[in-house]
Amino acid sequence: MNIRMKRDFSYPVPGNKGIRRTLPAGWVGEVDDEVGAAAVEAGAGVDTDKEAGEPEKADKPKPSPKA
């Protein structure tokens, strides 16, 4: 999941007891889906994939006919 952080978000490291990592405010990048979903749910981040939506197909100009 690609995410853009609006504020700091601390999350536990899976498999390690008591160790936490922090995604800082302003950070943009890819994170695990579970961490990203938790950050979005907490209001700390924005899912850039959903924010961008589907790409639009650009109309290509037709080539002019050669005489």
pTM for the whole structure: 0.60
* 2-58 pLDDT tens trace: 888 888 988 888 787 888 988 888 888 888 888 888 888 888 888 877 766 666 677
Residue whose structure tokens are 């853009």: 4
Q: What is the pLDDT of residue 63?
A: 81
Residue 67 banded pLDDT, cuts 50, 70, 90: low
Q: Which two tokens stand for residue 1?
A: 């999941």
Q: For residue 27, with 0-12 CB atoms within 10 Å meaning exposed, 13-18 middle and 19 or more buried, which class applies?
A: middle
Q: What is the pLDDT of residue 56?
A: 66
Q: What is the pLDDT of residue 53?
A: 62
